[in-house]
Amino acid sequence: MRVFGIIVGALVMASGLWGCSEPAADEELVVYTSRNDHLIKPVFDAYTEATGVRIRYITDNASALTARLQAEGERSPADMLITVDAGNLWNAAEKGLLSPVESVVLKNNVPDALTDPKNQWYGLTVRARTLVYSKDRLQPSELSTYEDLADPKWKGRLCLRTSKKVYNQSLVATMIERLGEEKTEEIVRGWVANLATDVFSNDTALMEAIVAGQCDVGIVNTYYYGRMKRDNPQLPLGLFWANQESSGVHVNISGAGVTVNAPHPEKAKALLEWMTQPAAQQLLADRNLEYPVNASVKPPEEVRSWGEFKSDDLNVSVAGALQVEAVKLMDRAGYR
């Protein structure tokens, strides 16, 4: 499918239909997205090639795009918001920025657990956040759960990404829902006590620290591992699927919703439906080594090589609903 993406991109470039081209009224949709240009542009180009509908898109982080939608109000040109993490989508919906979309296509293609209970947003890809470990210093049999990383046996051996990033906030929010606030705080305090070094700004730096011997185990989104593995096939790290005997691996999404003031709501709905169909799902998953939400589509070959796992079946909206509680809990526990 990567070849398809390249071909489509070339066709679009040749015809001058760039994603950021000037508006053409009814022939164009406007999308606000936090996804990087190289990940989302091939998808938009493919849609233009398939339908003739051009897409003009604006990229920024989720909070900036949400603030922009709020400031623009009814004058907003945006038809759709695409971002990562259910917490960000939940926040946009809570602010009244997304409109419910009823669609048999979406219901058939996107599992309920990856869909807003009020149908204001739908998952597009799945990302798993699980354990990564040094293959030189650990055996998989020594690993088990997120909770186990709080055990004193991991003192001085654990690395974590900062709590300021939404990915860990969503993980802790899910733990609160599963385990309760008191037990979750006990676990997070244990993580902090076991840290080998200061928290990292991103998952890549965390994995580099494991390779360098600063620590032995951490928690990362699997696509970061995939990128490093692609650059270095001999990478001495392995993935371990956490909580397989209990709740399953924590998963989150990239997703999208039609904006409440969309100038072209039906065309935005059509784009959203198309992005959950097999061809688009393959493009979306392949570009960033993620998992398709559509069960009829296989993950990229590299991703399949990591093995199958049981995922947590909680609705991902929990990541948003309990985000404030999660942030407060991590602060109390000294997780910076």
**SS3 state of residue 55:** strand
Neighbours of 320 (CB within 10 A): 24
Pairing label, strands 28-33, 217-221: unpaired
Q: What is the pLDDT of residue 10?
A: 35
Dihedral angle at the C-alpha atoms of 21, 27, 30, 35, nearest 10 degrees?
A: -70
**Alpha carbons 187 and 165: distance in angstroms, whole number:** 18
Q: Say how far apart CA 63 and CA 67 lie, in whole Å.
A: 6
pLDDT digits (tens, 9 = 90+) for 244-266: 999 999 999 999 999 999 999 99
The backbone torsions φ and ψ at residue 334, rounded to the nearest 5 degrees and listed phi first, read 80, 15
* Alpha helix stretches (DSSP H) within 180-202: 181-194
Q: Whole-model pTM? A: 0.91
**Residue 27: its pLDDT value, please?**
75
Q: What is the pLDDT of residue 26?
A: 59
Token output for 270: 């059509």
**Sign, Cα dihedral of 8, 13, 16, 17:** positive
**Residues near 236 by Cβ (< 8 Å), separated by ≥ 6?**
134, 135, 136, 211
Residue 9 pLDDT: 38
> pLDDT tens digit string along 105-146?
999 999 999 999 999 999 999 999 999 999 999 999 999 999
Domains of the chain: 2-126+252-300 (3.40.190.10), 128-250+309-332 (3.40.190.10)
- Low-confidence residues of the chain: pLDDT under 50: 1-25
Please return the burial class of 261, using the count of CB atoms within 10 Å of its CB with bins 0-12, 13-18 and 19+. middle
